[in-house]
Structure 1
Amino acid sequence: MLDDADRRLLRQMQADPEAPVSELAERCAMQPGTAARRLERLRESGVLKGQHAVIDWQQLGFAVEVSLRFTLDKTNPRAFDEFLEQARRIPEVIAIQTFLGRVDVRLSVIARDMGHYQSLYRDQILTLPHISELEALMHVATIKTAERLPI
């Protein structure tokens, strides 16, 4: 379980993930060695999974994002596995989620423009195995992305 000191450290890391341990420790009113040990424990326990670069794909020339919702033909017991294996191979698929309910899988796909998207759709998306239904939702705007958790 997390205590208040762990929560303070995590809040500070969310606010400034590139801050050195000594600075995080100072902001949390603890010794740098204590902060380092706590962070290591949080990593080992899987609470803190790492730090990574967030790249703005739009700055790299991708202007289109589409959310594709799939219902799979579940008469084949390997439908999910085979579909996911193929979907992972498409570089423009930036997220894959599975669901319980009417929709089985959602893919987030990016493309440079509509021509690029149409090509991806025809040549790669429609060739994915076991598709029973497919719905495409054109992304218009991101209103909120929660990069900070309420710790």
Structure 2
Amino acid sequence: MSDATDRRILRQLLADPDVSNADLAERAGVTSASLWRRLDRMREAGVIQAIETRIDWRKLGYEVEVSLRFTLDKTEPRAFDDFIAAARLVPEVTEIQTFLGSVDLRLSVIARDMAHWQQIYRESILTLPHVADSDALMLVSNIKNVQALPL
């Protein structure tokens, strides 16, 4: 579906999501009209889903990031739905993922400091429904965080 020109456009867009369309067209070596057609086609095909804003939570005072892994009580038919609905209501939960295997779900949670983390854990995490087992991993450093595919 995509050709070398599409991949060139995507590479440039990934490198600088704030680039203007005129600059993007120039960097990708296409006309503005061609760029528009290609971007529209890639959006319609679902290749480009959204241009996102990434927030550095640490710069906003959130110094703690915890990855929580959960195994749910699967004897409860609504375990996944109830858990996910409750987790979505926790403002500090930035990501919810489901898995196949021994771990059912993973939450990413941010907190300002350890006292705030303890408050979130006691008031919000421990009250999540249908938890059979959980495990917490505190982020120490982020070595690689790439959202892009090698195009």
Q: What TM-score, normalized by structure 1, do the two folds share?
A: 0.96
Secondary structure at the aligned position of 1:37 is classed as helix
Deviation of 1:41 (Å)? 1.1
1:60 aligns with 2:56: no
Q: CA deviation at 1:15?
A: 1.2
Q: List, as ranges, runs of 4+ consecutive aligned residues in structure 1 with deviation greater than 4 Å.
A: none
Counting only pairs closer than 5 Å after superposition, residues 15-54 of structure 1 correspond to structure 2 as 15-54=15-54
Measure how far apart 1:52 and its partner are.
2.0
Number of matched pairs: 151
| 1:106-125 equivalence runs, <5 A | 106-125=106-125
CA distance in 2, matches of 1:87, 1:141: 24
- Show the counterpart of 2:148: 148
**Structure 1 residues without counterparts, runs of 5 or longer:** none
Structure 1 CA distance, aligned partners of 2:27 and 2:67?
40
Alpha-carbon distance in structure 1 between the residues aligned to 2:103 and 2:66: 16
1:31 deviates by 1.0
C-alpha deviation, 1:19, in angstroms: 1.3
Superposed CA deviations along residues 117-138 of structure 1, whole A, max 9, x for unmatched, are: 1111111101000000011111
Further displaced range: 62-71 or 43-52: 43-52
* Matches of 1:65 and 1:46, distance apart in 2: 31
Task: State the identity %.
Answer: 57
Give the alignment's Cα RMSD to 1 decimal: 0.9
Q: Measure how far apart 1:17 and its partner are.
A: 1.2
- The normalised TM-score by structure 2 is 0.96
> How far apart, in 2, do the equivalents of 1:28 and 1:122 lie?
51
2:82 corresponding residue in structure 1: 82
SS at match of 2:137: strand
Letter paired with 2:25: A
